[in-house]
Amino acid sequence: MFELLDRDANGRTGKFTIGKKEIKTPNIAIVINPNRMLVPPKELKGFGADLIITNSYIIYRNQKLREKAEKGLHKFLNWSGPIYTDSGTFQMYSQNVKDINSEEIIDFQEKIKSDIITPVDMFTLPDDSKETARKKLKETSKRILSARGLTKKTLNAPIQGGLFLDLRKKACVEAKKSNPDLFSIGGIVPLMEQYRFRELCDIILTCKQNLPFSKPVHAFGAGHPMVFSLLTAFGCDLFDSAMYSIAARRGGYLTTNGTHQFENLTEFPCSCPMCANSNPRDVENKEEFLTKHNLYVTFQEIRTIRQAIKEDSLWELVQSRVRSHPKLLEAFEYNLKKYKRFISKHDNISKKSAFFYSGKESEYRPEVILAKERLKKVKSKRYFTKKPFGRIPVELSGVYPFSQSIIPGEPDKRVRSKPEEAVKKTIEYQFGKHKLKKFKVEISRKTGRIRRVYSDKLLGTIRSYDGLFLPTKEGANFIDMKKVVVDDDAVPFVENGKSVFAKFVKSAKGILPSEEVSVVDKKGRILAVGKALLNEDEMKDFNRGMAVKTR
Ligand code: GUN
Ligand code: ZN
Protein backbone atom coordinates (compact mmCIF):
# COMPACT_ATOMS: atom_id res chain seq x y z
CA MET A 1 0.00 0.00 0.00
CA PHE A 2 1.31 3.39 -0.96
CA GLU A 3 0.10 6.83 0.08
CA LEU A 4 1.23 10.09 -1.40
CA LEU A 5 2.39 12.78 1.02
CA ASP A 6 4.06 15.55 -1.01
CA ARG A 7 5.16 15.92 -4.59
CA ASP A 8 7.52 18.00 -6.68
CA ALA A 9 9.04 17.57 -10.15
CA ASN A 10 7.97 13.98 -10.98
CA GLY A 11 9.12 12.84 -7.57
CA ARG A 12 7.06 12.34 -4.48
CA THR A 13 7.30 11.58 -0.82
CA GLY A 14 5.04 8.83 0.36
CA LYS A 15 4.21 6.24 2.95
CA PHE A 16 4.84 2.67 1.80
CA THR A 17 3.14 0.09 4.00
CA ILE A 18 4.85 -3.28 4.03
CA GLY A 19 2.73 -5.74 5.97
CA LYS A 20 2.32 -4.08 9.37
CA LYS A 21 5.39 -1.88 8.96
CA GLU A 22 5.76 1.34 7.07
CA ILE A 23 8.57 3.40 5.61
CA LYS A 24 8.88 6.88 4.17
CA THR A 25 9.80 7.22 0.52
CA PRO A 26 12.02 8.06 -1.29
CA ASN A 27 14.19 5.63 0.59
CA ILE A 28 17.01 3.19 0.14
CA ALA A 29 17.24 -0.48 1.08
CA ILE A 30 20.70 -1.29 2.40
CA VAL A 31 22.07 -4.52 0.97
CA ILE A 32 23.14 -7.03 3.60
CA ASN A 33 25.48 -9.76 2.52
CA PRO A 34 24.82 -12.51 5.08
CA ASN A 35 28.39 -13.73 4.61
CA ARG A 36 29.97 -10.41 5.31
CA MET A 37 28.37 -7.93 7.70
CA LEU A 38 30.91 -5.21 8.31
CA VAL A 39 28.23 -2.98 9.80
CA PRO A 40 25.70 -5.25 11.55
CA PRO A 41 22.08 -4.50 10.58
CA LYS A 42 21.10 -3.28 14.04
CA GLU A 43 23.72 -0.52 13.80
CA LEU A 44 22.23 0.65 10.50
CA LYS A 45 19.39 2.42 12.33
CA GLY A 46 21.94 4.92 13.55
CA PHE A 47 22.77 5.87 9.97
CA GLY A 48 19.09 6.37 9.10
CA ALA A 49 18.17 2.99 7.59
CA ASP A 50 14.51 1.95 7.60
CA LEU A 51 14.71 -1.02 5.24
CA ILE A 52 17.28 -3.70 4.45
CA ILE A 53 17.51 -6.01 1.47
CA THR A 54 19.21 -9.36 1.36
CA ASN A 55 19.55 -12.13 -1.16
CA SER A 56 17.39 -15.17 -0.48
CA TYR A 57 19.34 -17.22 -3.02
CA ILE A 58 22.71 -16.68 -1.28
CA ILE A 59 21.12 -17.87 1.96
CA TYR A 60 19.30 -20.75 0.30
CA ARG A 61 22.36 -22.25 -1.37
CA ASN A 62 24.37 -22.35 1.87
CA GLN A 63 23.15 -24.98 4.31
CA LYS A 64 24.42 -23.23 7.44
CA LEU A 65 22.85 -19.90 6.54
CA ARG A 66 19.68 -21.60 5.40
CA GLU A 67 19.15 -23.42 8.68
CA LYS A 68 19.64 -20.24 10.66
CA ALA A 69 17.35 -18.20 8.40
CA GLU A 70 14.63 -20.84 8.54
CA LYS A 71 14.15 -19.93 12.20
CA GLY A 72 13.19 -16.46 10.96
CA LEU A 73 15.07 -13.96 8.86
CA HIS A 74 14.50 -11.06 11.27
CA LYS A 75 16.09 -12.95 14.12
CA PHE A 76 18.90 -14.19 11.90
CA LEU A 77 19.79 -10.67 10.77
CA ASN A 78 18.88 -9.10 14.11
CA TRP A 79 16.68 -6.51 12.44
CA SER A 80 13.08 -5.82 13.46
CA GLY A 81 12.22 -3.47 10.60
CA PRO A 82 11.01 -4.58 7.17
CA ILE A 83 13.24 -6.90 5.12
CA TYR A 84 13.16 -7.04 1.34
CA THR A 85 14.50 -10.20 -0.31
CA ASP A 86 15.90 -10.43 -3.81
CA SER A 87 15.82 -13.72 -5.65
CA GLY A 88 19.23 -14.49 -7.11
CA THR A 89 18.66 -12.93 -10.53
CA PHE A 90 21.65 -10.70 -10.06
CA GLN A 91 23.87 -13.71 -9.23
CA MET A 92 22.77 -15.29 -12.51
CA TYR A 93 24.09 -12.16 -14.18
CA SER A 94 27.23 -11.45 -12.15
CA GLN A 95 28.33 -14.97 -11.14
CA ASN A 96 27.03 -17.03 -14.04
CA VAL A 97 24.73 -18.99 -11.75
CA LYS A 98 22.43 -21.21 -13.81
CA ASP A 99 18.70 -20.68 -13.78
CA ILE A 100 17.14 -20.76 -10.33
CA ASN A 101 13.66 -22.17 -9.81
CA SER A 102 11.46 -19.17 -9.11
CA GLU A 103 8.72 -21.00 -7.22
CA GLU A 104 11.23 -22.73 -4.96
CA ILE A 105 12.85 -19.38 -4.08
CA ILE A 106 9.47 -17.74 -3.48
CA ASP A 107 8.52 -20.55 -1.08
CA PHE A 108 11.80 -20.02 0.69
CA GLN A 109 11.27 -16.25 0.99
CA GLU A 110 7.86 -17.01 2.49
CA LYS A 111 9.31 -19.58 4.85
CA ILE A 112 11.95 -17.24 6.27
CA LYS A 113 9.27 -14.53 6.66
CA SER A 114 10.60 -11.92 4.30
CA ASP A 115 8.43 -8.80 4.04
CA ILE A 116 8.91 -8.12 0.31
CA ILE A 117 9.00 -11.08 -2.06
CA THR A 118 10.79 -11.08 -5.43
CA PRO A 119 10.43 -13.74 -8.13
CA VAL A 120 13.43 -14.81 -10.24
CA ASP A 121 13.32 -12.43 -13.19
CA MET A 122 15.47 -12.87 -16.29
CA PHE A 123 18.24 -10.30 -16.21
CA THR A 124 18.33 -8.67 -19.64
CA LEU A 125 21.62 -7.23 -20.82
CA PRO A 126 22.03 -4.02 -22.82
CA ASP A 127 23.58 -6.14 -25.57
CA ASP A 128 20.81 -8.73 -25.70
CA SER A 129 19.07 -8.98 -29.07
CA LYS A 130 15.42 -8.09 -29.28
CA GLU A 131 14.52 -11.74 -29.63
CA THR A 132 16.40 -12.63 -26.44
CA ALA A 133 14.95 -9.66 -24.59
CA ARG A 134 11.46 -10.67 -25.70
CA LYS A 135 11.93 -14.26 -24.49
CA LYS A 136 13.29 -13.15 -21.13
CA LEU A 137 10.41 -10.72 -20.75
CA LYS A 138 7.84 -13.42 -21.45
CA GLU A 139 9.37 -15.74 -18.89
CA THR A 140 9.67 -12.94 -16.31
CA SER A 141 5.98 -12.04 -16.74
CA LYS A 142 5.01 -15.68 -16.25
CA ARG A 143 7.02 -15.88 -13.03
CA ILE A 144 5.48 -12.69 -11.62
CA LEU A 145 2.00 -14.05 -12.26
CA SER A 146 2.89 -17.36 -10.66
CA ALA A 147 4.42 -15.56 -7.66
CA ARG A 148 1.17 -13.65 -7.09
CA GLY A 149 -0.55 -16.99 -6.65
CA LEU A 150 2.07 -18.16 -4.14
CA THR A 151 2.22 -15.25 -1.71
CA LYS A 152 -0.04 -12.71 -0.06
CA LYS A 153 2.94 -10.67 1.10
CA THR A 154 4.12 -7.44 -0.50
CA LEU A 155 5.07 -8.57 -4.01
CA ASN A 156 7.76 -7.01 -6.12
CA ALA A 157 7.43 -7.16 -9.91
CA PRO A 158 10.72 -6.73 -11.78
CA ILE A 159 10.50 -4.98 -15.14
CA GLN A 160 12.90 -6.22 -17.81
CA GLY A 161 13.05 -5.53 -21.57
CA GLY A 162 16.63 -4.35 -21.98
CA LEU A 163 17.16 -1.25 -24.10
CA PHE A 164 13.96 -1.82 -26.09
CA LEU A 165 11.43 0.77 -24.99
CA ASP A 166 8.49 -1.04 -26.59
CA LEU A 167 9.44 -4.15 -24.60
CA ARG A 168 9.77 -2.10 -21.39
CA LYS A 169 6.25 -0.88 -22.02
CA LYS A 170 5.03 -4.41 -22.61
CA ALA A 171 6.79 -5.58 -19.43
CA CYS A 172 4.86 -2.93 -17.45
CA VAL A 173 1.55 -3.83 -19.04
CA GLU A 174 2.11 -7.53 -18.32
CA ALA A 175 3.35 -6.96 -14.76
CA LYS A 176 0.32 -4.83 -13.87
CA LYS A 177 -1.95 -7.82 -14.54
CA SER A 178 -0.54 -9.52 -11.43
CA ASN A 179 -1.44 -6.52 -9.29
CA PRO A 180 1.93 -6.38 -7.48
CA ASP A 181 2.59 -3.92 -4.65
CA LEU A 182 5.88 -2.62 -5.95
CA PHE A 183 7.57 -2.43 -9.35
CA SER A 184 11.33 -2.64 -9.78
CA ILE A 185 13.13 -1.56 -12.92
CA GLY A 186 15.73 -4.25 -13.57
CA GLY A 187 18.68 -4.84 -15.85
CA ILE A 188 20.00 -1.30 -15.36
CA VAL A 189 23.18 -1.95 -13.36
CA PRO A 190 25.39 -2.26 -16.49
CA LEU A 191 24.01 1.09 -17.75
CA MET A 192 24.93 2.79 -14.47
CA GLU A 193 28.36 1.19 -14.41
CA GLN A 194 29.03 2.51 -17.91
CA TYR A 195 27.57 5.97 -17.16
CA ARG A 196 24.87 5.40 -19.79
CA PHE A 197 22.50 7.65 -17.86
CA ARG A 198 20.62 8.90 -20.93
CA GLU A 199 19.43 5.38 -21.77
CA LEU A 200 18.79 4.67 -18.10
CA CYS A 201 16.45 7.66 -17.73
CA ASP A 202 14.79 6.92 -21.06
CA ILE A 203 13.90 3.47 -19.69
CA ILE A 204 12.70 4.87 -16.37
CA LEU A 205 10.41 7.42 -17.99
CA THR A 206 9.03 4.84 -20.42
CA CYS A 207 8.20 2.63 -17.45
CA LYS A 208 6.71 5.52 -15.47
CA GLN A 209 4.37 6.25 -18.38
CA ASN A 210 3.09 2.70 -18.20
CA LEU A 211 2.99 2.02 -14.46
CA PRO A 212 0.29 3.09 -12.01
CA PHE A 213 1.10 6.26 -10.12
CA SER A 214 -0.35 4.62 -7.01
CA LYS A 215 2.51 2.11 -6.59
CA PRO A 216 6.14 2.72 -5.67
CA VAL A 217 8.92 2.18 -8.21
CA HIS A 218 12.35 0.81 -7.31
CA ALA A 219 15.46 1.44 -9.46
CA PHE A 220 17.18 -1.94 -8.98
CA GLY A 221 20.86 -1.58 -8.10
CA ALA A 222 20.93 2.24 -8.01
CA GLY A 223 23.15 2.90 -5.03
CA HIS A 224 25.37 5.88 -5.84
CA PRO A 225 24.20 9.09 -4.16
CA MET A 226 25.10 11.07 -7.29
CA VAL A 227 22.06 9.63 -9.15
CA PHE A 228 19.39 9.64 -6.44
CA SER A 229 18.01 13.14 -7.05
CA LEU A 230 17.79 12.70 -10.82
CA LEU A 231 16.08 9.32 -10.57
CA THR A 232 13.70 10.64 -7.92
CA ALA A 233 12.77 13.63 -10.07
CA PHE A 234 11.95 11.19 -12.90
CA GLY A 235 9.69 9.14 -10.63
CA CYS A 236 11.67 6.55 -8.66
CA ASP A 237 10.77 5.98 -5.01
CA LEU A 238 13.21 3.34 -3.89
CA PHE A 239 16.90 2.54 -4.33
CA ASP A 240 19.18 -0.13 -2.97
CA SER A 241 22.82 0.03 -2.12
CA ALA A 242 25.53 -2.55 -2.07
CA MET A 243 27.64 0.30 -3.41
CA TYR A 244 28.43 1.64 0.08
CA SER A 245 30.23 -1.60 0.83
CA ILE A 246 31.60 -2.54 -2.62
CA ALA A 247 33.10 0.94 -3.04
CA ALA A 248 34.57 0.78 0.48
CA ARG A 249 36.33 -2.48 -0.26
CA ARG A 250 37.95 -0.84 -3.31
CA GLY A 251 38.92 2.32 -1.42
CA GLY A 252 36.01 4.34 -2.81
CA TYR A 253 34.83 7.41 -0.87
CA LEU A 254 31.35 8.31 -2.14
CA THR A 255 30.07 11.88 -2.49
CA THR A 256 27.05 13.35 -4.27
CA ASN A 257 29.48 14.53 -6.98
CA GLY A 258 31.15 11.18 -7.62
CA THR A 259 33.69 8.86 -6.02
CA HIS A 260 37.12 9.78 -4.66
CA GLN A 261 39.90 7.27 -4.11
CA PHE A 262 40.89 7.23 -0.47
CA GLU A 263 44.60 7.35 -1.44
CA ASN A 264 44.08 10.72 -3.11
CA LEU A 265 42.42 12.36 -0.14
CA THR A 266 44.45 14.76 1.97
CA GLU A 267 41.22 16.21 3.40
CA PHE A 268 37.75 14.81 4.02
CA PRO A 269 35.27 17.04 2.17
CA CYS A 270 32.49 15.91 4.49
CA SER A 271 31.29 16.51 8.02
CA CYS A 272 29.69 13.17 8.84
CA PRO A 273 30.63 11.79 12.28
CA MET A 274 33.43 9.72 10.71
CA CYS A 275 35.03 12.52 8.70
CA ALA A 276 34.50 15.31 11.22
CA ASN A 277 36.63 13.55 13.80
CA SER A 278 39.60 12.35 11.82
CA ASN A 279 41.84 13.01 8.88
CA PRO A 280 43.01 10.62 6.15
CA ARG A 281 46.45 10.03 7.70
CA ASP A 282 45.00 8.74 10.98
CA VAL A 283 42.46 6.24 9.67
CA GLU A 284 43.33 2.73 10.84
CA ASN A 285 40.64 0.48 9.43
CA LYS A 286 40.15 2.01 6.01
CA GLU A 287 37.35 -0.29 4.82
CA GLU A 288 35.28 0.16 7.95
CA PHE A 289 35.82 3.91 7.84
CA LEU A 290 34.75 4.11 4.20
CA THR A 291 31.74 1.83 4.73
CA LYS A 292 30.44 4.10 7.45
CA HIS A 293 31.16 7.36 5.64
CA ASN A 294 29.47 5.95 2.52
CA LEU A 295 26.38 5.08 4.56
CA TYR A 296 26.25 8.56 6.06
CA VAL A 297 26.38 10.36 2.69
CA THR A 298 23.85 7.94 1.24
CA PHE A 299 21.24 8.79 3.88
CA GLN A 300 22.13 12.45 3.93
CA GLU A 301 21.27 12.63 0.23
CA ILE A 302 17.97 10.77 0.73
CA ARG A 303 16.99 13.28 3.43
CA THR A 304 18.10 16.20 1.26
CA ILE A 305 15.84 14.93 -1.52
CA ARG A 306 12.82 14.48 0.75
CA GLN A 307 13.31 17.99 2.09
CA ALA A 308 13.62 19.39 -1.46
CA ILE A 309 10.28 17.77 -2.35
CA LYS A 310 8.72 19.36 0.71
CA GLU A 311 10.06 22.77 -0.36
CA ASP A 312 9.24 22.40 -4.08
CA SER A 313 12.89 22.73 -5.05
CA LEU A 314 13.70 19.26 -6.41
CA TRP A 315 14.44 20.45 -9.97
CA GLU A 316 16.91 22.96 -8.53
CA LEU A 317 18.64 20.20 -6.56
CA VAL A 318 18.80 17.99 -9.66
CA GLN A 319 20.17 20.79 -11.82
CA SER A 320 22.96 21.30 -9.38
CA ARG A 321 23.68 17.56 -8.97
CA VAL A 322 23.74 16.72 -12.70
CA ARG A 323 26.52 19.24 -13.17
CA SER A 324 28.89 16.88 -11.43
CA HIS A 325 29.12 14.73 -14.58
CA PRO A 326 28.45 15.61 -18.25
CA LYS A 327 26.68 12.29 -18.81
CA LEU A 328 24.22 13.14 -16.04
CA LEU A 329 23.57 16.57 -17.54
CA GLU A 330 23.06 14.96 -20.95
CA ALA A 331 20.63 12.41 -19.48
CA PHE A 332 18.66 15.16 -17.74
CA GLU A 333 18.42 17.51 -20.70
CA TYR A 334 17.63 14.82 -23.27
CA ASN A 335 14.87 13.18 -21.23
CA LEU A 336 13.35 16.35 -19.84
CA LYS A 337 12.90 17.46 -23.45
CA LYS A 338 11.78 14.09 -24.79
CA TYR A 339 9.16 13.55 -22.08
CA LYS A 340 8.15 17.18 -21.49
CA ARG A 341 4.44 16.51 -22.12
CA PHE A 342 4.31 13.61 -19.68
CA ILE A 343 6.50 15.29 -17.09
CA SER A 344 4.41 18.48 -17.21
CA LYS A 345 1.26 16.53 -16.41
CA HIS A 346 2.80 15.22 -13.20
CA ASP A 347 4.28 18.34 -11.64
CA ASN A 348 2.67 21.06 -9.54
CA ILE A 349 1.35 23.91 -11.63
CA SER A 350 2.18 26.35 -8.85
CA LYS A 351 5.00 26.12 -6.32
CA LYS A 352 5.99 27.68 -3.05
CA SER A 353 9.57 28.17 -4.15
CA ALA A 354 10.99 30.40 -6.89
CA PHE A 355 11.94 29.07 -10.31
CA PHE A 356 15.72 29.28 -10.64
CA TYR A 357 17.08 29.27 -14.17
CA SER A 358 20.30 27.30 -14.31
CA GLY A 359 21.12 26.47 -17.88
CA LYS A 360 19.31 25.94 -21.13
CA GLU A 361 17.70 22.70 -19.99
CA SER A 362 15.60 24.91 -17.66
CA GLU A 363 13.54 25.80 -20.73
CA TYR A 364 12.06 22.29 -20.82
CA ARG A 365 10.98 22.38 -17.20
CA PRO A 366 7.25 21.98 -16.57
CA GLU A 367 7.03 25.46 -15.05
CA VAL A 368 8.01 26.93 -18.43
CA ILE A 369 5.99 24.53 -20.60
CA LEU A 370 2.83 25.08 -18.55
CA ALA A 371 3.20 28.86 -18.23
CA LYS A 372 3.67 29.23 -22.01
CA GLU A 373 0.57 27.16 -22.59
CA ARG A 374 -1.51 29.21 -20.15
CA LEU A 375 -0.23 32.47 -21.65
CA LYS A 376 -1.93 31.59 -24.95
CA LYS A 377 -5.28 32.21 -23.25
CA VAL A 378 -4.53 35.83 -22.30
CA LYS A 379 -4.54 38.89 -24.55
CA SER A 380 -3.42 42.31 -23.44
CA LYS A 381 -2.56 45.76 -24.78
CA ARG A 382 0.78 45.85 -23.01
CA TYR A 383 3.43 43.18 -22.64
CA PHE A 384 6.89 42.78 -21.19
CA THR A 385 9.32 39.97 -22.01
CA LYS A 386 11.17 37.67 -19.73
CA LYS A 387 13.16 34.70 -20.94
CA PRO A 388 12.35 31.78 -21.16
CA PHE A 389 8.63 32.61 -20.93
CA GLY A 390 8.48 35.11 -23.80
CA ARG A 391 5.86 37.87 -23.98
CA ILE A 392 3.90 38.32 -20.78
CA PRO A 393 0.88 40.62 -20.29
CA VAL A 394 1.85 43.37 -17.83
CA GLU A 395 -1.18 42.48 -15.72
CA LEU A 396 0.50 39.14 -14.91
CA SER A 397 3.76 40.61 -13.69
CA GLY A 398 2.99 39.58 -10.09
CA VAL A 399 1.79 36.08 -10.96
CA TYR A 400 3.58 32.70 -10.74
CA PRO A 401 6.02 31.89 -12.25
CA PHE A 402 6.78 35.29 -13.82
CA SER A 403 7.51 37.19 -10.64
CA GLN A 404 8.75 34.10 -8.80
CA SER A 405 11.53 33.31 -11.24
CA ILE A 406 15.13 34.29 -11.04
CA ILE A 407 16.86 34.38 -14.38
CA PRO A 408 20.39 35.62 -14.99
CA GLY A 409 20.41 38.82 -17.04
CA GLU A 410 16.66 39.31 -16.79
CA PRO A 411 15.60 42.15 -14.47
CA ASP A 412 12.74 41.45 -12.05
CA LYS A 413 9.81 43.31 -13.31
CA ARG A 414 6.63 44.31 -11.58
CA VAL A 415 4.61 46.49 -13.90
CA ARG A 416 1.74 48.51 -12.54
CA SER A 417 -1.68 47.82 -13.97
CA LYS A 418 -5.27 48.44 -12.95
CA PRO A 419 -6.19 46.01 -10.14
CA GLU A 420 -9.47 45.01 -11.85
CA GLU A 421 -7.59 44.23 -15.06
CA ALA A 422 -4.92 42.28 -13.17
CA VAL A 423 -7.64 40.14 -11.56
CA LYS A 424 -9.33 39.46 -14.90
CA LYS A 425 -6.09 38.53 -16.66
CA THR A 426 -5.04 36.32 -13.77
CA ILE A 427 -8.33 34.45 -14.00
CA GLU A 428 -7.97 34.11 -17.78
CA TYR A 429 -4.43 32.83 -17.32
CA GLN A 430 -5.55 30.19 -14.83
CA PHE A 431 -8.97 29.21 -16.12
CA GLY A 432 -9.62 30.72 -19.54
CA LYS A 433 -13.20 31.91 -19.88
CA HIS A 434 -15.17 33.72 -17.17
CA LYS A 435 -18.29 35.85 -16.77
CA LEU A 436 -16.99 38.32 -14.21
CA LYS A 437 -18.02 41.85 -15.08
CA LYS A 438 -18.60 44.03 -12.06
CA PHE A 439 -16.60 43.42 -8.93
CA LYS A 440 -14.51 45.29 -6.40
CA VAL A 441 -11.01 44.64 -5.22
CA GLU A 442 -9.57 45.18 -1.78
CA ILE A 443 -5.93 46.22 -1.66
CA SER A 444 -3.79 45.42 1.35
CA ARG A 445 -2.66 48.65 2.99
CA LYS A 446 0.52 47.00 4.19
CA THR A 447 1.76 45.42 0.94
CA GLY A 448 -0.16 47.38 -1.70
CA ARG A 449 -1.23 44.09 -3.26
CA ILE A 450 -4.67 42.84 -4.15
CA ARG A 451 -6.14 40.75 -1.39
CA ARG A 452 -9.80 40.09 -1.94
CA VAL A 453 -12.23 40.22 -4.83
CA TYR A 454 -15.94 40.64 -4.12
CA SER A 455 -19.34 41.80 -5.36
CA ASP A 456 -22.03 41.56 -2.71
CA LYS A 457 -20.33 38.33 -1.70
CA LEU A 458 -16.69 37.29 -1.56
CA LEU A 459 -15.68 35.89 -4.98
CA GLY A 460 -12.11 34.97 -4.21
CA THR A 461 -8.75 35.96 -2.82
CA ILE A 462 -5.30 36.46 -4.30
CA ARG A 463 -2.74 34.14 -2.72
CA SER A 464 0.24 36.09 -1.46
CA TYR A 465 3.05 33.73 -2.49
CA ASP A 466 2.11 33.13 -6.11
CA GLY A 467 -0.38 35.88 -6.99
CA LEU A 468 -2.94 33.31 -8.17
CA PHE A 469 -6.69 33.66 -7.78
CA LEU A 470 -8.44 31.32 -5.36
CA PRO A 471 -12.16 31.41 -6.11
CA THR A 472 -14.77 30.90 -3.42
CA LYS A 473 -17.72 28.62 -4.13
CA GLU A 474 -19.64 31.80 -5.04
CA GLY A 475 -16.85 32.93 -7.37
CA ALA A 476 -16.77 29.53 -9.07
CA ASN A 477 -20.20 30.29 -10.58
CA PHE A 478 -18.60 32.93 -12.78
CA ILE A 479 -15.53 30.98 -13.88
CA ASP A 480 -15.08 28.09 -16.29
CA MET A 481 -13.14 25.94 -13.79
CA LYS A 482 -12.13 22.34 -14.40
CA LYS A 483 -14.42 19.98 -12.57
CA VAL A 484 -13.92 17.02 -10.32
CA VAL A 485 -17.13 14.98 -10.44
CA VAL A 486 -17.75 12.93 -7.30
CA ASP A 487 -19.86 9.92 -6.45
CA ASP A 488 -23.25 10.51 -4.81
CA ASP A 489 -21.93 8.87 -1.62
CA ALA A 490 -19.38 11.64 -1.20
CA VAL A 491 -21.75 14.59 -1.77
CA PRO A 492 -22.87 15.19 1.85
CA PHE A 493 -19.26 15.01 3.09
CA VAL A 494 -17.93 17.45 0.52
CA GLU A 495 -20.82 19.84 1.21
CA ASN A 496 -19.87 19.70 4.86
CA GLY A 497 -16.36 20.90 4.15
CA LYS A 498 -14.56 17.54 3.99
CA SER A 499 -11.85 17.02 1.41
CA VAL A 500 -12.36 14.74 -1.57
CA PHE A 501 -10.81 11.28 -1.45
CA ALA A 502 -9.54 9.72 -4.66
CA LYS A 503 -11.82 6.71 -4.45
CA PHE A 504 -14.91 8.94 -4.79
CA VAL A 505 -13.77 10.68 -7.97
CA LYS A 506 -15.83 9.85 -11.06
CA SER A 507 -14.02 12.12 -13.50
CA ALA A 508 -11.48 14.93 -13.44
CA LYS A 509 -10.97 15.94 -17.06
CA GLY A 510 -7.65 17.64 -17.81
CA ILE A 511 -6.84 18.42 -14.19
CA LEU A 512 -3.23 19.00 -13.14
CA PRO A 513 -1.64 18.77 -9.68
CA SER A 514 -2.05 21.96 -7.60
CA GLU A 515 -4.69 23.36 -9.92
CA GLU A 516 -7.70 25.21 -8.46
CA VAL A 517 -10.78 23.15 -9.30
CA SER A 518 -14.46 22.97 -8.49
CA VAL A 519 -16.00 19.83 -7.05
CA VAL A 520 -19.41 18.99 -8.49
CA ASP A 521 -22.05 16.28 -8.25
CA LYS A 522 -23.15 14.25 -11.26
CA LYS A 523 -25.63 16.96 -12.24
CA GLY A 524 -22.92 19.63 -12.22
CA ARG A 525 -23.96 21.36 -9.00
CA ILE A 526 -20.96 23.00 -7.35
CA LEU A 527 -20.28 21.48 -3.93
CA ALA A 528 -16.92 23.00 -3.09
CA VAL A 529 -13.71 24.51 -4.47
CA GLY A 530 -10.16 23.57 -3.69
CA LYS A 531 -6.74 22.50 -4.79
CA ALA A 532 -6.25 19.27 -6.76
CA LEU A 533 -3.45 17.14 -5.33
CA LEU A 534 -3.49 14.64 -8.18
CA ASN A 535 -3.92 14.86 -11.93
CA GLU A 536 -6.71 13.23 -13.88
CA ASP A 537 -4.99 9.85 -14.39
CA GLU A 538 -3.68 9.70 -10.85
CA MET A 539 -7.16 10.29 -9.39
CA LYS A 540 -8.39 7.23 -11.30
CA ASP A 541 -5.40 5.22 -10.14
CA PHE A 542 -5.47 5.81 -6.41
CA ASN A 543 -8.13 4.34 -4.13
CA ARG A 544 -6.70 5.91 -1.06
CA GLY A 545 -5.63 9.36 0.02
CA MET A 546 -6.85 12.80 -0.85
CA ALA A 547 -7.58 13.99 -4.39
CA VAL A 548 -8.80 17.55 -3.70
CA LYS A 549 -8.08 19.63 -0.64
CA THR A 550 -11.18 21.77 -0.35
CA ARG A 551 -11.33 25.21 1.21
N1 GUN B 1 19.56 -6.31 -8.74
C2 GUN B 1 20.08 -5.48 -9.67
N3 GUN B 1 19.46 -5.61 -10.85
C4 GUN B 1 18.51 -6.54 -10.70
C5 GUN B 1 17.53 -7.12 -11.58
O6 GUN B 1 17.41 -6.78 -12.76
N7 GUN B 1 16.70 -8.06 -11.03
C8 GUN B 1 16.79 -8.46 -9.73
N9 GUN B 1 15.93 -9.37 -9.25
N10 GUN B 1 17.72 -7.94 -8.88
C11 GUN B 1 18.56 -7.01 -9.37
ZN1 ZN C 1 32.01 11.55 5.80
CATH number at residue 177: 3.20.20.105
Evaluate whether residue 344 is within a structural domain: no
Closest Cα to atom 9 of ligand 1: 89
The answer to whether the CB of 121 is under 6 A from ligand 1 is yes
Closest ligand (CA of 275): 2
Q: State residue 329's pLDDT score.
A: 98
Evaluate whether residue 287 is within a structural domain: yes
CA distance 490 to 170: 36
Evaluate whether residue 456 is within a structural domain: no
DSSP for 171-205 reads HHHHHHTT--SEEEE-S-HHHHHTT-HHHHHHHHH
Select from 95, 189, 218, 246 the residue to mutate for testing ligand 1; criterion: most ligand atoms less than 8 Å from CB: 189
Evaluate whether residue 440 is within a structural domain: no
3-state secondary structure 391-439: EEEHHHCCCCCCCCEECCCCCCCCCCCCHHHHHHHHHHHHHCCECCCCC
Helix (H, G, I), strand (E, B) or coil at 483: strand
Helix (H, G, I), strand (E, B) or coil at 8: strand
Select from 92, 93, 185 the residue to mutate for testing ligand 1; criterion: most ligand atoms less than 8 Å from CB: 93
Closest ligand (CA of 223): 1
CATH code for position 518:
2.30.130.10
pTM: 0.97
Evaluate whether residue 522 is within a structural domain: yes
CA-nearest of 310, 328, 327, 326 to 318 is: 328
**Number of domains, the chain:** 2
Closest Cα to atom 8 of ligand 1: 89
Phi and psi at 151, nearest 5°, equal -140, 145
> Which residue, of 289, 314, 334, is where some domain finishes?
334
- In eight-state DSSP terms, residue 37 is -
Give the number of other Cβ atoms within 10 Å of residue 284's Cβ.
Answer: 7
Select from 123, 218, 236 the residue to mutate for testing ligand 1; criterion: most ligand atoms less than 8 Å from CB: 123
3-state secondary structure 88-140: CHHHHHHCCCCCCCHHHHHHHHHHCCCCEECCCCCCCCCCCCHHHHHHHHHHH
Catalytic residue at 86? yes
> What's the CA-to-centroid distance between 203 and ligand 1, angstroms?
15
> From the alpha carbon of 87, which atom of ligand 1 is closest?
9
Q: Please, are residues 424 and 459 in contact by the beta-carbon 8 Å criterion?
A: no
Q: State residue 411's pLDDT score.
A: 80
The residue annotated as part of the active site, out of 86, 115, 240, 466, is: 86
The answer to whether the CB of 535 is under 6 A from ligand 1 is no
Q: Please, are residues 456 and 439 in contact by the beta-carbon 8 Å criterion?
A: no
Q: State residue 371's pLDDT score.
A: 98
The answer to whether the CB of 501 is under 6 A from ligand 1 is no
Helix (H) or strand (E) holding 57: helix 56-60
> Which residue, of 285, 304, 334, is where some domain finishes?
334
Q: State residue 21's pLDDT score.
A: 97
The answer to whether the CB of 298 is under 6 A from ligand 1 is no
> From the alpha carbon of 186, which atom of ligand 1 is closest?
6
The answer to whether the CB of 256 is under 6 A from ligand 1 is no
For 546, the domain range is 481-550
Evaluate whether residue 57 is within a structural domain: yes
> Which residue, of 281, 306, 334, is where some domain finishes?
334
- Residue 359 C-alpha from the chain's centroid: 22
Evaluate whether residue 178 is within a structural domain: yes
What are the helix and strand counts (H, E) for the chain?
22, 27
Q: Block means of pLDDT (10 residues each) for the chain, length 551 residues?
A: 96 97 98 92 96 97 96 97 96 87 97 98 98 98 98 98 98 98 98 98 98 98 98 98 96 98 97 95 96 98 98 98 98 98 98 95 98 97 95 96 93 86 98 95 93 96 97 97 97 96 97 98 97 97 94 93
DSSP for 493-547 reads HHHTTPPEEGGGEEE-TT--TT-EEEEE-TT--EEEEEEESS-HHHHHH-SSSEE
The answer to whether the CB of 158 is under 6 A from ligand 1 is yes
Evaluate whether residue 459 is within a structural domain: no
Closest Cα to atom 5 of ligand 1: 186
- Residue 64 C-alpha from the chain's centroid: 40
> From the alpha carbon of 221, which atom of ligand 1 is closest?
2
Q: State residue 412's pLDDT score.
A: 77
Q: State residue 37's pLDDT score.
A: 87
> What's the CA-to-centroid distance between 303 and ligand 1, angstroms?
25
Alpha helices in 189-313 (DSSP H): 189-193, 197-210, 225-233, 243-249, 273-276, 286-310
Q: State residue 110's pLDDT score.
A: 98
CA-nearest of 513, 544, 505, 507 to 531 is: 513
Q: State residue 84's pLDDT score.
A: 98
The answer to whether the CB of 189 is under 6 A from ligand 1 is yes
